[in-house]
Structure 1
Amino acid sequence: MKITHHGAVNGVTGSCHQLDYDQHSSVLIDCGLFQGEDAGSSLAIDFDISTVTALIVTHCHIDHVGRIPYLFAAGFTGPIFTSKASASLLPLVIEDALKVGVTRDQKIINACLSLLAKRIVAIEFNSWFDLPTTSNKPTAKARLQRAGHILGSAYVEIDIGKKPNSHRVVFSGDLGAPHTPLLPSPKAPYKADTLVIESTYGDKNHQGRKERTQTLKKVIEKAVADNGIVLVPAFSIGRTQELLYELEQIIHNAAKNSPWQNIEVIVDSPMAANFTTEYRKFKTLWDDEAKKRLAKGRHPLNFAQLHTIDSHQEHIAVINYLSKRKQPAIILAASGMCTGGRIVNYLERFLPDETTDVIFVGYQGRGTLGRDIQTYGPSNGYVHINDHKITINAAVHTISSYSAHADQNGLIKFVTGMRKKPSHIKIVHGDDDAKQALAQEYREVLGEGVKIEIGESLTSFE
């Protein structure tokens, strides 16, 4: 057995892991796009895929699926196993990725989407399925379990060989934070012999749910006191829907004469609107709290003060409209790390205004515009946007507890919650400090009997 990492080793983007489960067969877990400092990495599939019989997609964030078109170009013809919700989301994500980063030629896009439709195999959670082999004799089986990160997200259990000598490998994908809005928290697997786990927040712990909601409420109330606008860079899948859920709750609880009743909430992202529709479609995957709100006749993702912007023409009109008026508004727009998308136009226009507030609610990767604003904003520094030097007079806030990623405690509980602990843990998908901190915590909690590894590219097992 062999595990090779083709991304998300020295950072948090480009997730792609290859598991060889017999001499001639392997499976890829995710095939994501590089972003930030890693964006200079080759998009082409520069590794041998001759043994790759299948791809398993843990979830539909672009840093986990963005290289799928390049995988097709490299000759991949196997199935793409993913959850039912992710199967519904994946074509939307790939189409957008192609339009933004590859081509606007609809014929090429349609050809790629046609290939994708033929390859996707939608899998129920907690249901074992055989992984294809070159010999047609099953030597490994896999199962998807709910990860609580975004709609449809999963961690992957793979059993290699037959009992009682089988070896279970678990790939965490991206694990959700506990008590996040809308989705249930992930539950630890029963066992793992080998664990490949993310470490995005391996060195940090988040605020509790009540505390972070109060923090968001206070930051926004202070931000709009001068009738300025609040810019919230947010990923179209997951973060946007969670924030809408939280904002609906704050507005619902506010007094009738409260300023909250007059604040417009603007989602300026066709992608986010599409994904919000998907979230509503898959209500069966919501947690009990969210289902109870629906039962009471509330619409946590479609409330009265919510406005969605569709076309680019509307987008430009909204920026001009907000520039002239003196009323507060909250803008949610992608991308979450400000690496592209409509949020960049808002930042270019409004960062110089003292009445503007920028709220970061998720991880900002190294080398991204979001990280630069976080770094230089508090000292009224500057950033470059569209070749223009933009002075940051806006107030910059970070509420990391709104991350959809598990924090250090969550990552530790994922392991300690297993009945049968892993003998080998491979830590990926994190900055160096986060990986080192998490490794140290695992060593202290699990003792010397467990091999903890922060690897580079290749790990082999007998």
Structure 2
Amino acid sequence: MDDTPRIFHHGAAVGVTGSCHRLQVAADRALLVDCGLFQGQDADHPDSLEQHRVRFPIDDVLALVVTHVHIDHIGRLPHLLAAGYRGPILCSIPSRRLLPLVIEDALKVGFTRDRALIERFLAEVESRLVALDYRAWHPLIDDERHRIRIRLQRAGHILGSAYVEVDTYDRTTGHRQRTVFSGDLGAPHAPLLPAPTPPYRADVLVLEATYGDRLHEDRRHRRGRLKDAIDRALANGGTVVVPAFSIGRTQELLYELEGLIHRASDARWRDLEIIVDSPLAARFTEVYRDLKPWWDAEAHRRLRSGRHPLSFENLYTVDDHAAHERTVTYLAESGRPAVVIAASGMVSGGRVVNYLKRLLGDPRHCVLFTGYQAVGTPGHDIQRYGPRGGWVMLDGQRIEIRAQVETVNGYSAHADQHDLLHFVRRMRQPPREVRLVHGDPGAQAALRRKLLEWAKEAGHELTVTLGAEGSMTEPQSANATAEAMA
């Protein structure tokens, strides 16, 4: 093995889910960044458990670093522990609060409903969680061979999200390297969260490329689009159904809706019901309220003025399944306008499916997408075929699409092409190598072109590698790792 740390991808090299990246510092020392589930077309194995089985070595892993708690970044954690990983799980302080909730839900959906087993696993996870302050270096190892330390910086994607700086120093060779893993970077001006600030320097950057080929609407425009969709529902007597991830998107939408209601001159807005139909989302929202110290300055100004952006008069939550069924029927038959926020964000399951089965065939209603819809998910099919009066398969049923279908990309929790370029070029010492991951091939290729154009104009020497072209071999043991990298 040479004296340069190597990067391997165990997911999200091609596609936008299953994030899991290995920084191999030596044949017997490595660091994992995230360990997520594959979703949509990325989940291409007929046996989901088999696809998510951990086949890469873990006995050399010093630590797992979690950038944030979305399921495509932490969903393989049960598999990792089942494979024998016993090291620490490092994350931010807010992620320390949120991660057990996500894992508990994942266990119920994909593993077991046995409460005793779930509690035992959660206890194991919680015993390994180590919460780190932002902006502070944390030593992983410091001995006669290596000094390795990490630092988390706010990423602006969801509450608790972070990008990871890894400082490695090989005392046997004198080689030093700063490797940065972006995780998922947020868009600027996102509700509740401050925008990410690029690091001072990076030698190698592993950069997400989810929206590497497009630009988002600005916040004023996207808020106007959201208001317009709801205005039409008010006029039509219909419901706006928003498929949204329980953590992050739901809370950002509640924040925006509270603002629209607060400023509304139309009396109908004062009576508009905002319904969160997801017990998990309700629990996350409660934790978000507890984590106010990590909100941004704008959100704190609202609080000081006496407003409650995540707990307001028009907001209702649906808890048990019986109440959920009553709410679906009520909205389908009453003609009373409402906004329903329900999981899952890509319509791959959850309560949102029941709403869409009842409401998609009625032109009074609207489906509003505010986030990425991966190819192979029902959400992508509705988004693509709905505007042409197509159909979608939900729970094995063919559902005709007559409802309005709208997309407001500005509410994406991901940085767009401009923001990703900004993250690189605003570094005081930009990287010599960028590895693009977590994006479809077209998005990665478009972002590479833009990065290389910038580097040429700036006179900066830069290599940009697509995830599929990078070091993809998944070593089977520490010895095999050394041989593969020799």
Aligned equivalent of 2:135: 126
Aligned equivalent of 2:27: 23
Task: Please tell me whether the aligned partners of residues 199 and 434 of structure 1 are also in contact (alpha carbons under 8 angstroms).
Answer: yes
Aligned equivalent of 1:225: 235
Task: Please tell me whether the aligned partners of residues 14 and 467 of structure 2 are also in contact (alpha carbons under 8 angstroms).
Answer: no
5 Å matches for 1:318-337?
318-337=327-346
Aligned equivalent of 2:165: 157
Matched, 1:264 2:280: no
Matched, 1:32 2:11: no
Task: Please tell me whether the aligned partners of residues 145 and 170 of structure 2 are also in contact (alpha carbons under 8 angstroms).
Answer: no
Aligned equivalent of 1:145: 153
Q: Secondary structure at the match of 1:337?
A: coil
5 Å matches for 1:12-91?
12-41=16-45, 42-91=51-100
Q: 1:254–1:282: structure 2 CA closer, same or farther, 3 Å change rule? A: same
Which stretch shifts more, 170-179 or 2-11? Answer: 2-11
Q: 1:405–1:461: structure 2 CA closer, same or farther, 3 Å change rule? A: farther
Aligned equivalent of 1:243: 253
Distance 1:128 1:340 in 2: 40
Cα deviation, 1:291-310, whole Å, max 9, x if unaligned, reads 00000000000010000111
Cα deviation, 1:59-89, whole Å, max 9, x if unaligned, reads 0000000000000000000000000000110
Aligned equivalent of 2:191: 181
Aligned equivalent of 1:11: 15
Q: How large is the Cα RMSD of the aligned pairs?
A: 1.6
Task: Please tell me whether the aligned partners of residues 203 and 434 of structure 1 are also in contact (alpha carbons under 8 angstroms).
Answer: yes
Distance 1:186 1:342 in 2: 33
Q: CA deviation at 1:132?
A: 4.4
Q: Secondary structure at the match of 2:43?
A: helix
Moved beyond 4 Å, runs of 4+: 135-138, 162-165, 459-462
Distance 1:48 1:369 in 2: 34
Distance 2:273 2:418 in 1: 36
Q: 1:123–1:380: structure 2 CA closer, same or farther, 3 Å change rule? A: same
5 Å matches for 1:365-380?
365-380=374-389
Amino acid at match of 1:414: F
5 Å matches for 1:417-436?
417-436=426-445
Q: Which consecutive residues of structure 1, in runs of 5 or more, have no partner in the other structure? A: none
Distance 1:215 1:128 in 2: 42
Aligned equivalent of 1:208: 218
Q: CA deviation at 1:136?
A: 8.7
Task: Please tell me whether the aligned partners of residues 351 and 392 of structure 1 are also in contact (alpha carbons under 8 angstroms).
Answer: yes
Matched, 1:346 2:355: yes
Distance 1:34 1:13 in 2: 5
Distance 1:245 1:186 in 2: 19
Task: Please tell me whether the aligned partners of residues 264 and 270 of structure 2 are also in contact (alpha carbons under 8 angstroms).
Answer: yes
Q: Secondary structure at the match of 2:126?
A: helix
Amino acid at match of 1:217: K
Task: Please tell me whether the aligned partners of residues 427 and 435 of structure 1 are also in contact (alpha carbons under 8 angstroms).
Answer: yes
Task: Please tell me whether the aligned partners of residues 229 and 240 of structure 2 are also in contact (alpha carbons under 8 angstroms).
Answer: no
Aligned equivalent of 1:451: 463
Q: Secondary structure at the match of 2:52?
A: coil
Task: Please tell me whether the aligned partners of residues 265 and 307 of structure 1 are also in contact (alpha carbons under 8 angstroms).
Answer: yes
Matched, 1:381 2:393: no
Amino acid at match of 1:190: Y
Distance 2:355 2:229 in 1: 19
Distance 1:136 1:336 in 2: 48
Distance 1:416 1:258 in 2: 47
Cα deviation, 1:394-417, whole Å, max 9, x if unaligned, reads 110000111010000100000011
Q: CA deviation at 1:347?
A: 0.9
Distance 1:348 1:80 in 2: 40
Cα deviation, 1:144-203, whole Å, max 9, x if unaligned, reads 000000000000000010698420000000000001110000000000000000001001
Quote the sequence identity (%). 51
Cα deviation, 1:28-49, whole Å, max 9, x if unaligned, reads 1000011001223401112122
Q: 1:81–1:106: structure 2 CA closer, same or farther, 3 Å change rule? A: same
Distance 2:217 2:393 in 1: 32
Aligned counterpart for 1:253 among listed residues 263, 284, 307: 263
Task: Please tell me whether the aligned partners of residues 104 and 122 of structure 2 are also in contact (alpha carbons under 8 angstroms).
Answer: yes
Distance 1:84 1:313 in 2: 35
Amino acid at match of 2:125: L
Task: Please tell me whether the aligned partners of residues 224 and 230 of structure 1 are also in contact (alpha carbons under 8 angstroms).
Answer: no
Q: Secondary structure at the match of 1:168?
A: strand
Task: Please tell me whether the aligned partners of residues 229 and 357 of structure 1 are also in contact (alpha carbons under 8 angstroms).
Answer: yes
Which stretch shifts more, 154-163 or 432-441? Answer: 154-163
5 Å matches for 1:377-416?
377-416=386-425
Task: Please tell me whether the aligned partners of residues 146 and 170 of structure 2 are also in contact (alpha carbons under 8 angstroms).
Answer: no
Distance 2:59 2:414 in 1: 33
Matched, 1:97 2:106: yes
Q: Secondary structure at the match of 2:418?
A: helix
Matched, 1:437 2:446: yes
Aligned equivalent of 1:194: 204
Q: Secondary structure at the match of 1:166?
A: strand
Q: CA deviation at 1:258?
A: 2.6
Q: CA deviation at 1:282?
A: 1.0
Q: CA deviation at 1:263?
A: 1.0
Q: CA deviation at 1:139?
A: 2.5
Alignment size in residue pairs: 460
Distance 1:258 1:461 in 2: 67
Distance 2:145 2:316 in 1: 53
Task: Please tell me whether the aligned partners of residues 131 and 138 of structure 1 are also in contact (alpha carbons under 8 angstroms).
Answer: no
Task: Please tell me whether the aligned partners of residues 233 and 338 of structure 2 are also in contact (alpha carbons under 8 angstroms).
Answer: no
Q: CA deviation at 1:129?
A: 1.0
- TM-score, length-normalised on structure 1? 0.97
Amino acid at match of 2:181: F
